[in-house]
Amino acid sequence: MSNASSSALSLENLSYAYRSNWVLKRIHALTEVSLEIREGEAFGFLGHNGAGKTTAMKCILNLIRPAGGKISIFGRDSREPEARKVVGYLPEQPYFYDHLNVFELMELYAVLAGIRRAEAGPAIARALDLVKVSARKRSPMRSLSKGLTQRVAMAQAIVAQPKLLLLDEPFSGLDPIGRRDLRELLVELNRNGTTIFMSSHVLSDVEHICGRVSIMVQGKIKALLDIKELANRPTQHFEMLVRNYDRAAARLKALASSHDAGENVLILKFEQRARAEEALRLALAEGASVEAFHPADHGLEEIFVQVVQAGR
Amino acid sequence: MGTKVYLIALNTFHESVRSKVMYSLLFFALAMLVASLLFGSVTIGDRIVVLKDFGLFSISLFSALYAVISGTALLHKELSRRTIYNILAKSVRRWEFVFGKYLGMLLTTAVMVACMCAALLAFVYLLNGEFSAGIVRASLHIVIELMVVCAFAIFFSSIVVTPLLAGMLTFAVFLAARSTEYLMYFVNQDGVSAPLSAVLKSLYALLPHLDRVNISDLVVYDAAVSWSLTFYSFAHAAAYSGVLLILSTWIFSKRDFN
């Protein structure tokens, strides 16, 4: 990730509300959302289903008009079409014109993104190469699988080499190989200076790609986290698996926050590092067989669950 | 800016010519031409007049039907299939999208008219051995008519949610616009109440006068058609379409794409 610090995308008190169909009740999809995405940063925009992630992206792209607040893309008001010239967008569940083939579709989006028609060919070839669908460039869009369509969607987003990539669930529909390819591509693009703003439910990939994440709950930003700090944070939650534990059973169970006994196996869970370490020492001293002792928190996933549950 | 309008128009054209609707209507139009040959053979009078009359009527009707069906469906498809998201997410202005769609539709219907016109010319040539320039001229006026029909299709698509309703409204306006002289005929009848007369007069003022734009009757009977009529027809259609497209763009620019 580059160290540049100027703002690539700025959301200031962004709000969006709509009226439900029948009772015309005003529903607040976004409430005073403020975020600052630095140039060259990879940012994970997380939230539960219906949290407002896609709505926020649509506001950024001027597809819907916010009720309040301000959005700037590299310092320009996002409502100006010129501001979106530097943006590549991958929508959630991308739909494309099925009467076109892959190359025709890419040509359409390349020229609309500002590439001259004469220069579109090499740009398209490069983008299709990056997502590994060059061999299918003459295939009709309607003949592509979901995974290939997703790759083409990624190709159209990067064809004009945008400075800012907005990705709404980019891993949706991809098989494990496709997921790995896309993850590597995003890391590479970010390394080369592209700012990435992505929403995803695949938290392990978000952790791998992004430097920071926000967690949105019911239209409000509830947490802003630095992935590096998260990784360096001392773990509190541990899990231990022991056999031949009879002599220490009662004391081990007393130290653990929860336990579960299987066939000749005791699984102990600890919420405090000190108690976990004490239990480990005790088990070894009493001659129990310690089969496993490992951190039990899942980093981002655990925090995500906590934040979402607390925010609802 | 122009490139984007051109590209959207070209994409709309490609989408239309690869759809089955156009070929179905072309087939029916050509079937009508063939049928007119049969009618001509059993009709008292000039067989060529019947062929031209029936042929130009078919061209006008089927091209207008196509503009109504595809015009209202195309925009609806963009919205329901969300293909519009990726277009507007680029640095494309909403007016560029509306005008691009309009020009694409117009180009498609013009190509359709050209195909049917060529078929009618060939029939007339086979029967009579003459090249009827009047048919070309009448077809040009049908395209001018279609400028307005396509603009109405876009306009109603931008304000009405269902393509069926937008299509019905567009076709209703087309029929009314082809009958504006009848409105004044009714106004001048005895016994027409003042409120009804006011409504009819308002409609006469508001509706486009496509019955004046369409010159098929004149061409069928080989009457002279001045170029000034073509010019005024074009100016009338361009002005009317322009206003409708500006209104459509304004409505479209207020729209949220949820």
Domain membership flag for residue B200: no
pLDDT of residue B44: 59
Contact state of A91 with B18 under an 8 Å Cβ cutoff: no
Contact state of A84 with B85 under an 8 Å Cβ cutoff: no
Compute the average pLDDT of residues A20-47: 88
> Which residues contact residue B145 at a Cβ distance below 8 angstroms, ignoring those fewer than 6 apart?
B60, B64, B210, B213, B214, B237
Instruction: State how far the Cα of A283 lies from the Cα of A289, in Å rounded to an integer.
Output: 7
Compute the average pLDDT of residues A219-229: 89
Compute the average pLDDT of residues A260-268: 87
Contact state of A85 with B91 under an 8 Å Cβ cutoff: yes
Instruction: State how far the Cα of A108 lies from the Cα of A106, in Å rounded to an integer.
Output: 5
Structural domain harbouring A177: 1-86+163-233
Domain boundary among A186, A211, A233: A233
Residue B257 banded pLDDT, cuts 50, 70, 90: confident
Domain membership flag for residue A306: no
Compute the average pLDDT of residues A107-129: 93
Domain membership flag for residue A287: yes
CB contact B257 to A (< 8 Å): yes
Is B36 in contact with B58 (CB distance < 8 Å)?
Answer: yes
Compute the average pLDDT of residues A30-40: 94
The yes-or-no verdict on residue A230 having pLDDT over 80 is no
CB contact A17 to B (< 8 Å): no
Domain membership flag for residue A244: yes
Positive or negative CA dihedral for B58, B61, B63, B65? negative
Residues A267 and A195 in one domain: no
Instruction: State how far the Cα of A261 lies from the Cα of A104, in Å rounded to an integer.
Output: 61
Domain boundary among A157, A187, A209: A157
What does the pLDDT look like over B29-84, one tens digit per residue? Answer: 788 778 777 776 666 557 788 888 888 999 999 999 999 988 888 888 888 888 99
What does the pLDDT look like over A73-92, one tens digit per residue? Answer: 999 999 998 999 999 999 98
CB contact B18 to A (< 8 Å): yes
Compute the average pLDDT of residues B152-156: 94
Chain A residues near residue B249 by CB distance under 8 angstroms: none
Q: Judging by beta carbons within 10 Å of its beta carbon (0-12, 13-18, 19+), is residue B198 exposed, middle or buried? A: exposed
Contact state of B256 with A64 under an 8 Å Cβ cutoff: yes
The yes-or-no verdict on residue A236 having pLDDT over 80 is no
The yes-or-no verdict on residue A168 having pLDDT over 50 is yes
The ipTM value here is: 0.81
Residues A180 and A221 in one domain: yes
pLDDT of residue A272: 86
Residues A183 and A75 in one domain: yes
DSSP A295: E
Contact state of A89 with B89 under an 8 Å Cβ cutoff: yes
Question: From B91, which residue of chain A is nearest by alpha-carbon distance?
Answer: A81
Residues A71 and A201 in one domain: yes
Is A35 in contact with A221 (CB distance < 8 Å)?
Answer: yes
Residues A205 and A57 in one domain: yes
* Bridge partners (DSSP) listed for residue A221: A216
Compute the average pLDDT of residues A21-34: 82
Structural domain harbouring B35: 2-178+214-253
Per the structure, the count of domains in chain B is 1
Residues A180 and A260 in one domain: no
The domain that contains A175 carries what CATH number?
A: 3.40.50.300
Compute the average pLDDT of residues A183-203: 94
Compute the average pLDDT of residues A161-177: 93
Residue A23 banded pLDDT, cuts 50, 70, 90: low
Domain membership flag for residue B153: yes
Residues A218 and A264 in one domain: no
Instruction: State how far the Cα of A175 lies from the Cα of A151, in Å rounded to an integer.
Output: 11
Per the structure, the count of domains in chain A is 3
Domain membership flag for residue A3: yes
Contact state of A91 with B256 under an 8 Å Cβ cutoff: no
Domain membership flag for residue B70: yes
The yes-or-no verdict on residue B21 having pLDDT over 70 is yes
Residue of A95, A101, A141, A152 to mutate, testing the B interface (most B Cβ within 10 Å of its Cβ): A95
Chain B residues near residue A96 by CB distance under 8 angstroms: 83, 86
Residues A1 and A72 in one domain: yes
Beta strands A220-226 and A212-217, pairing class: antiparallel
pLDDT of residue A173: 85
Top-confidence residue, A1 or B226: B226
Chain B residues near residue A117 by CB distance under 8 angstroms: 3
Give the full edge-to-edge strand order of the sheet including A76-77: A26-38, A7-19, A68-73, A76-77
Residue of A97, A98, A117, A168 to mutate, testing the B interface (most B Cβ within 10 Å of its Cβ): A97
Residue A4 banded pLDDT, cuts 50, 70, 90: very low
Domain boundary among A179, A213, A233: A233
Domain membership flag for residue B208: no
Compute the average pLDDT of residues B226-241: 95
Q: What Cα–Cα distance (Å) separates residue B229 from each residue in A91, B9, B212, B233, B235?
A: 50, 28, 9, 6, 10
Chain A residues near residue B3 by CB distance under 8 angstroms: 111, 117
> Which residues contact residue B174 at a Cβ distance below 8 angstroms, ignoring those fewer than 6 apart?
B64, B68, B149, B152, B210
pLDDT of residue A1: 44
The yes-or-no verdict on residue A2 having pLDDT over 70 is no
Compute the average pLDDT of residues A34-46: 95
Residue of B1, B16, B90, B92 to mutate, testing the A interface (most A Cβ within 10 Å of its Cβ): B90
Domain membership flag for residue B48: yes
Chain B residues near residue A111 by CB distance under 8 angstroms: 3-4, 7
Question: From B256, which residue of chain A is nearest by alpha-carbon distance?
Answer: A64
Residues A47 and A71 in one domain: yes
Chain B residues near residue A58 by CB distance under 8 angstroms: 257-258
Domain membership flag for residue A98: yes
Nearest to A28 by CA among A86, A69, A60: A69
Domain membership flag for residue B192: no
- Which phi and psi angles does A38 have, rounded to 5°? -80, 150
CA–CA min distance B11, chain A (Å): 8
Contact state of A95 with B3 under an 8 Å Cβ cutoff: no
Contact state of B91 with A114 under an 8 Å Cβ cutoff: yes
Domain membership flag for residue B105: yes
Domain membership flag for residue A270: yes
Q: How many residues does chain B have?
A: 258
In whole numbers, what is the pLDDT of chain B averaged over residues?
89
CB contact B11 to A (< 8 Å): yes
CA–CA min distance A99, chain B (Å): 6
Residues A198 and A72 in one domain: yes
- What Rg value do the Cα atoms of chain A yield, rounded? 24
Beta strands A68-73 and A266-270, pairing class: unpaired
Residue A22 banded pLDDT, cuts 50, 70, 90: low
Q: What b-and-e string marks burial along B61-72, b requiring 16 or more CB atoms within 10 Å of the CB?
A: bbbbbbbbbbbb
Give the full edge-to-edge strand order of the sheet including A266-270: A258-261, A266-270, A238-243, A289-295
Compute the average pLDDT of residues B167-188: 90
In whole numbers, what is the pLDDT of chain A averaged over residues?
90
pLDDT of residue B95: 94
Residue A3 banded pLDDT, cuts 50, 70, 90: very low
Contact state of B89 with A117 under an 8 Å Cβ cutoff: no
Residues A264 and A124 in one domain: no
Closest CB to B257 among A64, A83, A85: A64
